[in-house]
Chains A and B, each alone.
Chain A
Amino acid sequence: MDKLAKWIIRWPWITLGILLLITGFFLAGIPRLQINNSVDSMLPADHPARLLYDDVNDTFGGTDVMVIAVHSEDIFSETTLTQVIELTEAFQRLPGVDEVVSLSTAKRMDGEDGNLAVRDLMPAVPESDQERDDLRAYVVDQEMYVNNIISSDGFYAGIVVELLPDIDDSAVYASLRQVIDEQENASDIYVAGGPAVNAEMTTSMKGDLVQLIPFVLLVLAIVLYLSLRTVAGVILPLAVVLLTVIWTAGLMAWLGIPMAVISTTLPIMLIAIGVADAIHILTDYYAGLRSGEEKRSAIRTVVKHIGLAIVLTSITTLVGFLSLGTSPVQQVMQFGLFVGFGVMAALAITLTLIPAALELWGSPRLMTRKSTKPSFSARGLTSLSRFVVKQRKALLIVGGILFVLAAIGGTRLAVETNTLRFFRPETPIRQATEVVDLSFGGSESLSIVVSGDIKSPDVLNGMLDFQDWATALPEVGYTASVADYVMQINEALHDNDPAERVIPQTRNAVAQEILLYEMSSDPSDFARVVNYNYEQARIVLRMESLSSSELGVLVQQVEDEVTRSADGQFDVGITGSSYLFKVLTDLLVSGQILSLLVSLLGVALVVGLIFRSVRYGLLSMIPLGFTITLNFGIMGWLNIPLDTATTMLASIAIGIGVDYTVHFLSKYRRELRAGRTSHDAVGETIQTTGRAITYNVMAVAAGFAVLLFSSFGPIATLGALVALSMGISGLAALTLLPAALMATEAKQKKA
């Protein structure tokens, strides 16, 4: 370590040059960075839900739909119908769009006086009032069309856009949005559905982070300046953070690994991690200068002492994040690995950039002022150290009570993701979803896959039974299957007799009616609802936007009912991107809890090995465990659910919290070895390392508090919780950890 410091002090420009070269290499990759926000790609490829989803996409085409609602006082007016035709054609031309269903693509079957007419529902815009009334009368009578291509209240025309499988939702949504925004009545056109929500979420998340991160950095800079009171103390930590982010993003780009929604929090993590190392080095460096040490020797001392400590903290942080590698969700796993890389990059940059820059910087002016009066922060830390030593038992008791309270709160913690509530009520996507949910009965889709002899009347009637049951559910607005088509044909074949809107009695009759329909359509018409050999059919179910736990309940209900309707005649499976999202949420959370345990134990093990002490290892779990428990406890008591965003928080808490612990332990042990008593060592550590920890907490917490101004729910919550957990973590490291150290030290002495 000392050799490194010496070399850097001798060749500062070369050091900076090398850093610059590496940074240039990573920077060059960044334009290649891809973004992938699809939910299905996040699930493990062999997960049953993913397998079924892929299979359904493969068999029936894309399962993800967007519902576009066009508001009009009279949807059968010439203006609206013309617009529906134009929009439909425009959407059909968009890349990534598989199929568009609307008044202008639907079919019409009529039977009268022994004639059967099969034609387009609307070959052209009706010209006379009579034609319009005829069209209206037909459409409102068709169960397959109401709540699909027209709303039940009759004030909205629906255009259902089905996306190709494995397509970038955001790109399709953006191009579709563009078509709509060009319309004169754009404000009367609403876009809802999973892909739209997903796309808006990605945009909001990225947009907010891009807008807010500069403010985070600004606040960080201000706090850094107030703490360290030098320009170098602001610029160097920020430079470390910046380079770390570039290196990590560049590595992802060069490896061709796309950014996912989860990785958008990567810069946040790296800011918190990168700044910590720098603060510790600078705090100690200035302390050295203040105590009269010469600049070069101060740099070398700091690199020797703190350098070792930050190598240790980096290893423990790495262990903390590598535990994410146990996640069943591939992107979380990758995320863990890249944060791990970021941790190591931050270490390398801190240990090279800072000494080199300090060497070149010249002597800090502010630090040369010799003040006989201890500063405010110094006085605060002194009284804190006295308080901790004196009240160590009370601290442990209070800590214990808080821990229990938090643990109770933790049991109230709900696992729940409500994607829509991520958006504020006034946002267009939320309003659009409300409009579509209200007027069409739902904007999200589920696919129920039926396997059996689809042409059998029993199977078709079973499907219809289930559909009737489902339509009666308050959450469900619309269902459709091949059975609806068969009923439609049967009715038309019997001179439009409503009593004949049933499935015919024999299998051959079904087969012949389907053949008749095929005659008058193209092969792809049925491909969306039934497979080639009529062994698998899909029931499309459209429902309101639900939270993940509500969806879980609904899916369970659906599964029970459809199994009952099947009555052994057919097998069923349920899928859909909203359902995948629910599965993903559950996996993320359960995976996260496992990761947490692994990282807690891993950190304890590493700390134990580093200090060659079982006691230190066990003690290191106290501030970490306390922080995480308190975090979850507060979330539980405040009814903040554990969702895809907030589960990531615990990783940050461990990753950064462990730093405080390791720095504290490392300094404490140095003091003990210097011959101090346990109490004195605690006092000294709180006053020195405690300063760096306090600065660190303040800088990161204040920086993250900025995220509270995000318009996007999860980001605001994440900001608040990171700020909170930094505070708890710092406080625990400065109070509970020393209290526990003293308590165990005392016991050892007695023994």
Chain B
Amino acid sequence: MKNKTRVIWTTLLIGVLGLGVVGYAAANTLTGREIIENVDAMEIADDAMLLMTMTLINDRDESLVREMRSWKQGTESTALLFIAPEEVAGTAFLTIRTDVEDDMWLYLPSLELTKRIDADSKSQSFMGSDFTYDDMGERDIDDYAYTFIREDVYEGQHVLVVEGVATDPEDAGYSKVLSWILDDVWMPVKIEYFDVRGDLEKIQTNTRIEEIDGYWAITKMEMENVQTNHKTIVEMTQVELNTGIPADVFTSEALPTLFDRIP
């Protein structure tokens, strides 16, 4: 259980840091597993500061926009601060992943309340979005058994299609994951998620992948739940890597002060 929450707050960064959501790698001579290991092996930055916009769109085409700033160190620590809309501005979350367990903290400015959160979040929605914590986070590479399916061309780019079948679907939250992976930069461009019953549930498209300071990053991604017709778009509007974020940002005491730490 702990394993699941652990990388939650690293999540938004993962694309940025070039980790890839589920590791996939490729070359037609490689096995599915090797492709994934290639993706997993992409080099990541030491730390990152991001400004991001999350747009939620429901089946009636109504949308909600939230703006967040996040600080991230390695794969261990993430602090996340809501800056818009005004009503939730200042609300902050902190995730610290250690070998023993994951710590999750919450700060509500209106009540001036800091709380330690204990939630079984695995397949739950991230911030009311269509991404689960796991979609955003780093899946354990061993949760799935991989098979290389075919080479393909996706929007003019050469990709390798890899299928991952969950060893324990209930635990993984999905029965199967199908990924389209760019074999030059080892980044997924599209991922299809199949629910526990085996039906297509969600489609993730990484619509913008760019190189920042020598690291490959996904800076815009979309997740559409084809069963509920609900959609989430996450866009990184500002990315700063290796700025040397002080360690005290990643403490529960710092949550109420995050606003002052915006550069």
Contacts and interface: CB of A to CB of B under 8 A. Distances in A.
Interface string B97-122: 00000000010111101111111110
B115 A115 contact: yes
A531 B128 CA distance: 14
A118 B87 CA distance: 22
Interface string A523-554: 11001000111000000000000000000000
Contacts of B262: none
Interface string A482-521: 0000000000010000000000101111011101101111
Interface residues of A, number: 34
A123 B120 contact: yes
A117 interface: yes
Interface in B206-233: 228, 230
B115 A523 contact: no
A522 interface: yes
Residue among A116, A509, A516, A519 with max Cβ neighbours from chain B (10 Å):
A519
B124 A522 contact: yes
B127 interface: yes
B56 A523 contact: yes
Contacts of B11: none
Contacts of B64: 532-533
A366 B126 CA distance: 88
Interface string B26-45: 00000000000000000000
A120 interface: yes
A111 B119 CA distance: 12
B115 A119 contact: no
A455 interface: yes
Interface in A628-662: none
B183 interface: no
B223 to A, nearest CB: 11
Residue among A506, A520, A521 with max Cβ neighbours from chain B (10 Å):
A520
B56 A516 contact: no
B60 interface: yes
A523 B87 CA distance: 19
Contacts of A523: 56, 58, 125, 128-130, 228, 230
A463 B130 CA distance: 30
Contact of A519 (B113, B116, B127): B127
B121 A493 contact: no
B62 A115 contact: no
Q: From DSSP, what is the main secondary structure of chain A's interface residues?
A: mixed
Contacts of A114: 114-116
A495 to B, nearest CB: 10
A116 B62 contact: no
B91 A515 contact: yes
Contacts of A520: 119, 121, 124
B82 interface: yes
B124 A515 contact: no
Contact of A120 (B85, B109, B120, B127): B120
Nearest to A111: B115
B127 A508 contact: no
B88 interface: yes
A392 B56 CA distance: 82
Contacts of A513: 108
Nearest to A517: B128
Residue among B64, B85, B113, B127 with max Cβ neighbours from chain A (10 Å):
B113
A111 B113 CA distance: 12
Residue among A120, A509, A523 with max Cβ neighbours from chain B (10 Å):
A523
B130 A116 contact: no
A59 B93 CA distance: 31
Residue among A58, A522, A524 with max Cβ neighbours from chain B (10 Å):
A522
Contacts of B125: 518-519, 521-523
Contact of A511 (B58, B87, B113, B117): B87
A612 to B, nearest CB: 62
B87 A507 contact: yes
B87 A115 contact: no
Contacts of A111: 115
A164 to B, nearest CB: 12
A119 B91 contact: no
A522 B225 CA distance: 12
A524 B228 CA distance: 9
B128 A512 contact: no
A183 B124 CA distance: 32
B110 A512 contact: yes
B147 to A, nearest CB: 29
Contacts of B116: 114-116
Contacts of B91: 512, 515-516
Contact of A117 (B93, B108, B118): B118
Contacts of A507: 87
A533 B115 CA distance: 27
B242 to A, nearest CB: 29
Given A512-B87, A518-B127, A532-B62, A493 B120 contact: no
Nearest to B108: A512
A500 to B, nearest CB: 10
B129 A515 contact: no
A516 B110 contact: no
A509 B108 contact: yes
Contact of A515 (B58, B86, B88, B115): B88
Contact of A509 (B110, B120, B124): B110
Given A519-B128, A523-B58, A523-B125, A455 B117 contact: no
A491 to B, nearest CB: 12
A114 B111 CA distance: 13
Residue among B56, B58, B87, B106 with max Cβ neighbours from chain A (10 Å):
B87
B124 A521 contact: yes
A515 B111 contact: no
A506 B108 CA distance: 12
A537 to B, nearest CB: 15
Contact of B88 (A118, A493, A508, A532): A508
A439 B114 CA distance: 41
Given A117-B118, A515-B91, A532-B62, A506 B110 contact: yes
Given A508-B87, A512-B88, A512-B91, A115 B58 contact: no
Nearest to A119: B120
A508 B117 CA distance: 20
B122 to A, nearest CB: 11
Contacts of B228: 523-524
Given A518-B125, A522-B125, A117 B62 contact: no
Contacts of A118: 117-119
A531 B64 CA distance: 11
Nearest to A59: B60
Contacts of A493: 108, 111, 113, 115
A135 to B, nearest CB: 16
Nearest to B66: A515
Contact of B115 (A116, A455, A508): A116
B110 A116 contact: no
Nearest to A109: B119
A506 B86 CA distance: 13
A652 to B, nearest CB: 46
Interface in A87-146: 111, 114-120, 123
B109 A512 contact: yes
30 contacts: A58-B60, A111-B115, A116-B116, A116-B117, A116-B118, A117-B117, A123-B120, A455-B87, A493-B108, A493-B115, A508-B88, A509-B108, A509-B111, A512-B91, A512-B111, A513-B108, A515-B88, A515-B91, A515-B128, A518-B128, A519-B128, A520-B121, A520-B124, A521-B124, A523-B125, A523-B128, A523-B129, A524-B230, A527-B58, A531-B62
- 3 closest A-B pairs (Cβ-Cβ)? A518-B128, A511-B87, A509-B110
Interface of A: 58-59, 111, 114-120, 123, 455, 493, 504, 506-509, 511-513, 515-516, 518-524, 527, 531-533
